[in-house]
Structure 1
Amino acid sequence: MKNQQNHSTELNGKTALVTGGTKGIGKAIADRLAEAGAQVIVTARNHPGDANLDHYFIAADLTQPEDVTKMAEEIDEKFGTVDILIDNIGGLTTPGGGYSTLTDEHWENELQLNLLAAIRLDRTLLPKMVDQQSGVIIHISSVAGKQPLWNLNMAYAVSKAALNSYSKTLATELASKGVRVLTVSPGATKTPPMVKVIEDFATASGLSFEEGQTQLMNQVGGIPMGRMAEPEEVASLVHFLVSPAAAYLTGTNYAIDGGSLPVVV
């Protein structure tokens, strides 16, 4: 789905860093912020190999402290500061099946990827935001942090719930220092990783892809809007939250799930 809105210039003069910004939701966010006038930096473990990559790229594995340090040094040298930080790195890497299938290594890897990478990067880049009394941090979480599925995403859901709690406490600490911190929790979104989750679930359950998708969506109560989100729709929400129009918003977790969460949040 292409963005049909006119390009704006409200982020002119701002530098944005989007982790995991070469594909899926991260790429959609990077593209949207650039359309709004921001200078965008993206990171991933490996260059996507696309000669037409539109944003400044830094190769970094953010689960490794030394890579975070090197990335921060490069940003400092070439850009000076980051005004907008989108902590988008993350993913479901552990097997389903419940507690008995998860080893210490599974838990540690999931926490590194979905929680500690964001904490590490925030800690590195926040001092300059605090010094300039301005900045926005968006943590990309998941509705799984509020509605975990024991047989599918136990460790992932726990790591995202921890990210939600961290984001809220950080927002409270920084509110008086001019830095806003928010969380965006997508539901089922049409990205390659989501397709793989459905494929793996369907295979493990002896189902076709279509049957697996239906059963998986039914486990979370279905999607009232009847479809998965497009990455660009998540990017639209993030764009709003980092814009001047959202200047009074901080500490809130925004679910973008087509109405699938069956609770009042």
Structure 2
Amino acid sequence: MENRQDVNLDLDGKIALVTGGTKGIGKAIADRLARSGATVITTARTNPGYSAGSHYFIAADLSKSEEVTKVFNEVNAQFGGVDILINNMGANTLPSGGFSVLTDEHWDEALQVNLLASVRLDRAFLPKMVSQKSGVIIHISSTSGMFPLWESTMPYSAAKAALNAYSKTLATEVAPQGIRVITVSPGLNKTEAMTKFIDDFAARTGVSSETMTQHLFARLGGIPIGRMAEPEETAELVHFLVSPKASYITGTNYVVDGGNLPVV
């Protein structure tokens, strides 16, 4: 039975760019926005290897400034800009083990992927939004930015915490021009990237992936709902936030963690 929300074309005529939009949360967001009528552009480092359907795909490594310029130029040439920018790109693939195993190169990589790619994309696409006095930017952050684990997420958490602060200040700056900037911080999501993270961490510590999953739940203090999120659950929130129904929402950070964060 079709979800009645899916036939609500509240984004009809909008152009949306979703970075990292071929897998996991990014793909779920891209698909959700398309079902609401948006023309969706996705990026990833490599072609996803399957039909992108209604999504226009651009291969790009957005950790490099010249690749951001490439995406901006192609989007402008094909679509004339964007109304919705979803900065979903991010990765936690660096060595675990704390400060002693992390080099300057590791820290630079974390910042390029998880912070500066979004800064550059915003800087590229914001002038058109300012000129039309409308637009929505969503930064997909992580609860790791508020709940860092030294043994596994140190540079990733630091970069996401910086993204949170940047997103808040940008929201304050551009709100008078009619642009909304919002942060969404997912917790554990059942994605390919999370599966690989758990499998790799388990292999390095000599335990099973199942044991490592339970250890991660315990290390985070437990998840009251008792499971990881499905990417589609985060995508539903993002769809609402970019829709006209959320027209008074900006500068906030929405946590989607199943009740995990032990703070108010």
Look up the equivalent residue of 2:178 and give its one-letter code: G
Contact 2:168 2:251 (8 Å CA) reproduced: yes
Aligned to 2:256: 256
Q: Give structure 2 stretches of 5+ with no counterpart.
A: none
Aligned partner of residue 16 in structure 2, secondary structure? strand
- The CA deviation at 1:145 is 0.1
Please state if 1:205 is matched with 2:209. no
In structure 2, how many angstroms separate the alpha carbons of the residues matched to 1:97 and 1:63?
Answer: 24
Greater alpha carbon shift after TM alignment, 204-213 vs 158-167: 204-213
Look up the equivalent residue of 1:78 and give its one-letter code: Q
In structure 1, how many angstroms separate the alpha carbons of the residues matched to 2:89 and 2:171?
Answer: 19
Aligned to 2:77: 77
Would the alpha carbon gap of residues 169 and 52 (structure 1) be closer, same or farther in structure 2, given more than 3 Å must change?
Answer: closer
In structure 1, how many angstroms separate the alpha carbons of the residues matched to 2:21 and 2:220?
Answer: 27
Would the alpha carbon gap of residues 3 and 160 (structure 1) be closer, same or farther in structure 2, given more than 3 Å must change?
Answer: farther
Q: Deviations over 1:113-134 (max 9, x none)?
A: 0000000010000000000000
Aligned to 1:31: 31
Would the alpha carbon gap of residues 195 and 3 (structure 1) be closer, same or farther in structure 2, given more than 3 Å must change?
Answer: farther
- The percentage of aligned residue pairs carrying the same residue is 63
Look up the equivalent residue of 1:141 and give its one-letter code: S
Contact 1:16 1:38 (8 Å CA) reproduced: yes
- The CA deviation at 1:53 is 3.6
Aligned to 2:101: 101
In structure 1, how many angstroms separate the alpha carbons of the residues matched to 2:46 and 2:200?
Answer: 24
- The CA deviation at 1:54 is 3.0
Contact 1:187 1:256 (8 Å CA) reproduced: yes
The TM-score with structure 2 as length reference comes to 0.97
Pairwise CA RMSD: 1.2
Aligned to 1:91: 91
In structure 1, how many angstroms separate the alpha carbons of the residues matched to 2:240 and 2:262?
Answer: 25
Aligned partner of residue 183 in structure 1, secondary structure? strand
Aligned to 2:217: 217
Greater alpha carbon shift after TM alignment, 202-211 vs 213-222: 202-211
In structure 2, how many angstroms separate the alpha carbons of the residues matched to 1:137 and 1:52?
Answer: 23
In structure 1, how many angstroms separate the alpha carbons of the residues matched to 2:70 and 2:142?
Answer: 28
Contact 2:93 2:197 (8 Å CA) reproduced: no
In structure 1, how many angstroms separate the alpha carbons of the residues matched to 2:122 and 2:52?
Answer: 29
Contact 2:6 2:36 (8 Å CA) reproduced: no
- The CA deviation at 1:68 is 1.3
Aligned to 1:245: 245
Map 1:158-177 to 2 at 5 A. 158-177=158-177
In structure 2, how many angstroms separate the alpha carbons of the residues matched to 1:202 and 1:67?
Answer: 34
Q: Deviations over 1:202-228 (max 9, x none)?
A: 222221111100001111111100000
Contact 1:171 1:182 (8 Å CA) reproduced: yes
Aligned to 2:68: 68
Contact 1:3 1:232 (8 Å CA) reproduced: no
Q: Give structure 1 stretches of 5+ with no counterpart.
A: none
The TM-score with structure 1 as length reference comes to 0.97
In structure 2, how many angstroms separate the alpha carbons of the residues matched to 1:145 and 1:7?
Answer: 35
In structure 1, how many angstroms separate the alpha carbons of the residues matched to 2:101 and 2:84?
Answer: 38
Aligned to 1:181: 181
Aligned to 1:14: 14
Would the alpha carbon gap of residues 52 and 13 (structure 1) be closer, same or farther in structure 2, given more than 3 Å must change?
Answer: closer
Greater alpha carbon shift after TM alignment, 132-141 vs 191-200: 191-200
In structure 2, how many angstroms separate the alpha carbons of the residues matched to 1:40 and 1:32?
Answer: 10
In structure 2, how many angstroms separate the alpha carbons of the residues matched to 1:54 and 1:37?
Answer: 10
Contact 2:18 2:43 (8 Å CA) reproduced: yes
- The CA deviation at 1:51 is 2.9
Contact 1:10 1:37 (8 Å CA) reproduced: yes
Q: Deviations over 1:12-32 (max 9, x none)?
A: 010000001011100000000
Aligned to 1:194: 194
